[in-house]
């Protein structure tokens, strides 16, 4: 059965700093997703990664996928307060299932 | 906005009562999903549908049933609600397994 581990679970960082969130998963998968969730809100899709070596960037966020290592990273560059949220990775499982990590709660402080 | 609505948005009910949550989409997507979100667990799949009258179980399906009689509506039923089913329930849609899932606004359910 697929297990998805995210770390760290809590991240407090200063504005302007860089940091990386890690998503490890336990079995082979052909798709990985990153989502953002603001408090009390729904999930917003950030990235879909479908192949080994895939890299996608949007603003200060960059996601990558290494299927051989079963690892995805979400890199934050020069953090700003607006990036404060909870970030989830989710890994495709079987045909239609998707398993989520527990989430990383990011707080960006001035 | 992916054209997904959920109703009700908030509900308080008592243990042992039946509860039905509705997910409605306007974009004719084939796939629809029900998740629950609990602290420390991320989201967990309850049931999903891959077409009218075609449904399958997810990771945490015990105590839940679903129905899809029309493309646009996917219903989640708690036959006899328990306090462990207190959660936030999200519906999601997509066009295929490798496509992004888009999530509805969520329903907060409290079972007393």
What average pLDDT score do residues B71-79 get? 97
Nearest CA in chain B to A38: B105
What average pLDDT score do residues A56-75 get? 96
Q: Indicate whether A80 pLDDT > 60.
A: yes
Q: What is the pLDDT of residue B111?
A: 98
DSSP state letters, A6-51: EE-SEEEEETT--EEEEEEESS--S-EEEEEE-TTS-EEEEEEE-S
- Per-residue pLDDT reduced to its tens digit, B7-44: 999 999 999 999 999 999 998 999 999 999 998 788 99
Q: What is the pLDDT of residue B97?
A: 65
Interface check for A31 against chain B (CB to CB < 8 A): the answer is: yes
b/e A62-81 (16+ beta carbons within 10 angstroms → b): bbbbebeebebbbebbebee
Q: What six digits make up the tokens of B6?
A: 């959920």
Identity of the residue in A41, A50, A97 whose CB atom sits nearest the CB atom of B98: A50
Q: Indicate whether B96 pLDDT > 80.
A: no
Q: What is the pLDDT of residue B2?
A: 65
Interface check for A97 against chain B (CB to CB < 8 A): the answer is: yes
- Residues of chain B positioned with their CB less than 8 A from the CB of A97: 45, 48, 58-59
What average pLDDT score do residues B48-66 get? 94
**List of residues 6+ apart from B100 with CB closer than 8 A:** A33, A45, A48, B94
User: In whole angstroms, what is the distance from residue A4 CA to residue A24 CA?
Assistant: 6
Q: What is the pLDDT of residue B98?
A: 73
Q: Which of residues 39-58 of A touch B (CB under 8 A)?
A: 41-43, 45, 48, 50
Q: Indicate whether B95 pLDDT > 80.
A: no
Q: What percent of chain B has pLDDT over 90?
A: 83
Alpha-carbon gap: A78 to the closest alpha carbon of chain B (Å):
26
Query: Binning pLDDT at 50, 70 and 90, where does residue A97 land?
Result: confident
């Amino acid at each position: 059965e697929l297990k998805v581990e995210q770390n760290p679970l809590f991240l407090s960082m200063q504005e302007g700093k860089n940091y990386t969130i890690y998503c490890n998963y336990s079995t082979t998968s052909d798709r990985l997703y990153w989502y953002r969730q603001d408090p009390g809100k729904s999930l917003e899709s950030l990235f879909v990664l479908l192949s080994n070596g895939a890299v996608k960037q949007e603003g200060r966020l960059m996601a990558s996928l290494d299927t051989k290592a079963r690892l995805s990273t979400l890199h934050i560059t020069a953090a700003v307060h607006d990036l404060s949220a909870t970030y989830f990775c989710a890994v495709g499982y079987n045909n239609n299932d998707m398993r989520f990590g527990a989430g990383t709660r990011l707080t960006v402080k001035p | 906005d992916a054209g997904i609505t959920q109703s009700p948005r908030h509900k308080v009910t008592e243990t042992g009562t039946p509860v039905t949550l509705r997910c409605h989409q306007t974009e004719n997507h084939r796939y629809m999903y029900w998740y629950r979100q609990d602290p420390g667990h991320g989201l967990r799949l309850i049931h999903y549908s891959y077409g009218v009258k075609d449904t399958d179980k997810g990771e945490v399906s015990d105590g839940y049933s679903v129905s899809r009689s029309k493309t646009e509506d996917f219903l989640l039923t708690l036959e006899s609600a328990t306090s462990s089913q207190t959660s936030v329930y999200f519906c999601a849609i997509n066009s295929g397994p490798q496509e992004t899932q888009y999530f509805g606004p969520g329903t907060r359910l409290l079972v007393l």
